[in-house]
C-alpha cells in the first residue's frame, strides 16, 4: 500500500485534478468524503473504468478516460482496467440506432490483447489491475441472469435516450441489449468500486451500477462522466468548440499506435482554440501550470506555436517514449526547413503606405481564392495556413515579409500554395 502517493496531495488538490474536464459528477460531496477517508486511512480508492473490446485500435479520444485513470493512479489509488470480454459479446448499445453485430469470443479476445498493449502507453502497468468481466458474469449462470433482469423494469430501461428513440421510431431493439446496462452495473457490485469513470453517453449505465450497489448493501460508487473528444477539424464557434467527435471513419483522429511523427504533425494542425481544449483534457500538466501558460500567451510573453509544439511532443512521448518525442520534433523541424518554397509560384504585393494588410484582402491576389468573400469563408472554415499554421481570424493581418500561403488540402491537379512577398 503506497501511503506516500496517497498523501502527496491533499484531498482538495486531488479533487481539483481528477475532476478536470468532468461533465457530470454523481455526487461531488461523496467523492470529497471518499478522498478524505482514503487520505486519512491510507487505503486507496478503487477506480473502475470498463472497455468493451469491440475494435482493435484506440485513438486519443479513447485516451481521455485513460488520462483520468492515470491521474487517480498518480495519487496512489487502485485503478481497475476492466475488459468487457463478456459484455463485448452483446456490444454496448449506447448511442446506437441499430443492434450491434455480435462478436465471437475469439474476436473479443484478440481485440482485448490489442487493448492491453495500447492502454499501457498511458497507464502504469505496475499499478494497474486488469480484470475481465467474464470472471463473474459467466459464473452468474441462467438463474443469476434471470434474477438480475428482474431488478429493472422495461419502463426504466426505456428511459435511456437511445432505447427511447429506437422504440419511438419503431427501430428493432433486441432483448439482449436490455441486459447490457444491468451487466455493466453488476461489474461495479463485483469490484466494489468507489468511483466509476465513463463518457457522457454512459451516464445511464453508470447510474444502474450505483443503484445495484445500494440494493446489495454496498456504499454506492461515485460516477464521473467526461466529454467526448472533438476531432482535429473542430473549431471555436460562439465561444464553444464545435465539431464531429474524433473518429477514424471521419479521418479526424490521432491514433495512439501511429508513428510519433504523425501524432506530432496532426496535433500541430489544430487551431489554437482547440489546442487549449486538448491541453485541459489530455495534458499531464497540472491545472495551475496550464493557467499560467495561458496567461503568458495572452500577455504576449509566450507564442501559441511554442505551447502547441510542447503539447504535441508530450503526446508523442506519451505513446512512444522520449526517443519517439525527440524524433517527432526533429522530423517537424526538418520539414519546416525543407519547405519547397523554391517550387512555389511567387506572388509579390506592395503594401503601399500601409504597415499591414488584412489577410482576406491578400488571398484573392494569390489566386488561391476567387474573391474577398471566398477568402473570409476559407478563413472561417480553417482552410487557410500561413507558414504552415492554420489561421481562422478573419481580421488577421500581414506585414512586410515572405509567407507561404496555403488554402485547402494539397492537390495534384491544382496548386494550393504560393510564396507571397509583401513589401
3 state DSSP class of 111: helix
User: Where do the DSSP E strands lie in 169-259?
Assistant: 195-199, 222-226, 235-237, 240-242
In the prediction, which pLDDT does 99 show? 53
Residue 171 has pLDDT above 90, yes or no: no
Architecture of domain 3-226: 3-Layer(aba) Sandwich (3.40)
In the prediction, which pLDDT does 178 show? 85
pLDDT tens track for 1-33: 556 778 889 999 999 999 998 999 999 999 999
Instruction: Give the pLDDT band of residue 412 (cuts 50, 70, 90).
Output: very low
CB 278 within 8 A of CB 271: no
φ and ψ at residue 357, rounded to 5 degrees: -130, 140
Residue 422 has pLDDT above 80, yes or no: yes
Instruction: Give the pLDDT band of residue 414 (cuts 50, 70, 90).
Output: low
Q: Report how far residue 131's alpha carbon sits from residue 94's, in angstroms, rounded to the nearest whole number.
A: 22
Pairing of strands 46-51, 78-83: parallel
Partners of residue 422 on adjacent β-strands: 349, 401
In the prediction, which pLDDT does 94 show? 56
Grid cell locating 241:
468548440
Look up the CATH number of domain 342-422: 3.10.290.10
Partners of residue 419 on adjacent β-strands: 346, 404
Q: Residues of CATH 3.10.290.10 domain(s) within the chain?
A: 342-422
pLDDT tens track for 214-273: 999 999 999 999 888 999 988 888 888 888 888 877 788 898 889 999 999 899 888 888
CB 331 within 8 A of CB 313: no
Q: Which comes out higher in pLDDT, residue 190 or 98?
A: 190
Q: Residues of CATH 3.40.50.620 domain(s) within the chain?
A: 3-226
Residue 154 has pLDDT above 80, yes or no: yes
In the prediction, which pLDDT does 56 show? 62
133-142, 343-352, 391-400: the lowest-pLDDT one: 343-352
Average pLDDT for residues 294-320, to the nearest whole number?
92
For the question of whether the overall pTM of this predicted structure is more than 0.75, the answer is no
Of 152, 282, 156, give the one whose Cα is nearest residue 226. 282
pLDDT tens track for 342-382: 456 788 888 888 888 889 988 988 888 888 888 888 888 88
Instruction: Specify the CATH superfamily of domain 235-338.
Output: Tyrosyl-Transfer RNA Synthetase (1.10.240.10)
Q: Which residue's entry shows cell 445511464?
A: 204
CB 363 within 8 A of CB 369: yes
In the prediction, which pLDDT does 182 show? 92
Average pLDDT for residues 331-337, to the nearest whole number?
76
Instruction: Give the chain's mean pLDDT.
Output: 86
Q: Residues of CATH 1.10.240.10 domain(s) within the chain?
A: 235-338
Grid cell locating 95:
448511442
Residue 118 has pLDDT above 60, yes or no: yes
Residue 341 has pLDDT above 60, yes or no: no
Percent of the residues in the chain that have a pLDDT greater than 90, as a whole number: 39
Of 132, 104, 117, 106, give the one whose Cα is nearest residue 57. 117
Amino acid at each position: 500500500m503506497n501511503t506516500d502517493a496517497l498523501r502527496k496531495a491533499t484531498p482538495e488538490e486531488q479533487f481539483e485534478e481528477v475532476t478536470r474536464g468532468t461533465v457530470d459528477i454523481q455526487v461531488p460531496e461523496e467523492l470529497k468524503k471518499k478522498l478524505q477517508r482514503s487520505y486519512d486511512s491510507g487505503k486507496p480508492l478503487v477506480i473502475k473504468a470498463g472497455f468493451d473490446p469491440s475494435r482493435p485500435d484506440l485513438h486519443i479520444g479513447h485516451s481521455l478516460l485513460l488520462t483520468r485513470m492515470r491521474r487517480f493512479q498518480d495519487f496512489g489509488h487502485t485503478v481497475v482496467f476492466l475488459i468487457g470480454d463478456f459484455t463485448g459479446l452483446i456490444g454496448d448499445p449506447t448511442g446506437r440506432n441499430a443492434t450491434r453485430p455480435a462478436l465471437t469470443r475469439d474476436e473479443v479476445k484478440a481485440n482485448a490483447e490489442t487493448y492491453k498493449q495500447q492502454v499501457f502507453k498511458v497507464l502504469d502497468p505496475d499499478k494497474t489491475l486488469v480484470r475481465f468481466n467474464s470472471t463473474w458474469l459467466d459464473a452468474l449462470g441462467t438463474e443469476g441472469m434471470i434474477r438480475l433482469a428482474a431488478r429493472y423494469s422495461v419502463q426504466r430501461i426505456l428511459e435511456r435516450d437511445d432505447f427511447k428513440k429506437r422504440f419511438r421510431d419503431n427501430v428493432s431493439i433486441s432483448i439482449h441489449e436490455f441486459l447490457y446496462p444491468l451487466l455493466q452495473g453488476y461489474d461495479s457490485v463485483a469490484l466494489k468500486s468507489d468511483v466509476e469513470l465513463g463518457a457522457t453517453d454512459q451516464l445511464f449505465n453508470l447510474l444502474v451500477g450505483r443503484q445495484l450497489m445500494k440494493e446489495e448493501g454496498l456504499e454506492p460508487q461515485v460516477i464521473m462522466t467526461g466529454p467526448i473528444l472533438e476531432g482535429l477539424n473542430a473549431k471555436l464557434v460562439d465561444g464553444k468548440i464545435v465539431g464531429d467527435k474524433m473518429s477514424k471513419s471521419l479521418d479526424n483522429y490521432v491514433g495512439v499506435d501511429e508513428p510519433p511523427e504523425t501524432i506530432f504533425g496532426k496535433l500541430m494542425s489544430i487551431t489554437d482554440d482547440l489546442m487549449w481544449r486538448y491541453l485541459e483534457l489530455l495534458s499531464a500538466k497540472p491545472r495551475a501550470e496550464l493557467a499560467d501558460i495561458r496567461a503568458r500567451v495572452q500577455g504576449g510573453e509566450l507564442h501559441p506555436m511554442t505551447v502547441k509544439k510542447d503539447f504535441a511532443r508530450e503526446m508523442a512521448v506519451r505513446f512512444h517514449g522520449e526517443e519517439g518525442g525527440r524524433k517527432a520534433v526533429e522530423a517537424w523541424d526538418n520539414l519546416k526547413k525543407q519547405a519547397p518554397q523554391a517550387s512555389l509560384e511567387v506572388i509579390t504585393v506592395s503594401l503601399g503606405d500601409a504597415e499591414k494588410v488584412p489577410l482576406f484582402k491578400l488571398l484573392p491576389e494569390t489566386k488561391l481564392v476567387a474573391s474577398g468573400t471566398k477568402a473570409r469563408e476559407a478563413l472561417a472554415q480553417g482552410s487557410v495556413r500561413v507558414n504552415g499554421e492554420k489561421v481562422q481570424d478573419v481580421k488577421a493581418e500581414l506585414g512586410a515579409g515572405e509567407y507561404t500561403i496555403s488554402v485547402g488540402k494539397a492537390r495534384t491537379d491544382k496548386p494550393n500554395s504560393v510564396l507571397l512577398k509583401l513589401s
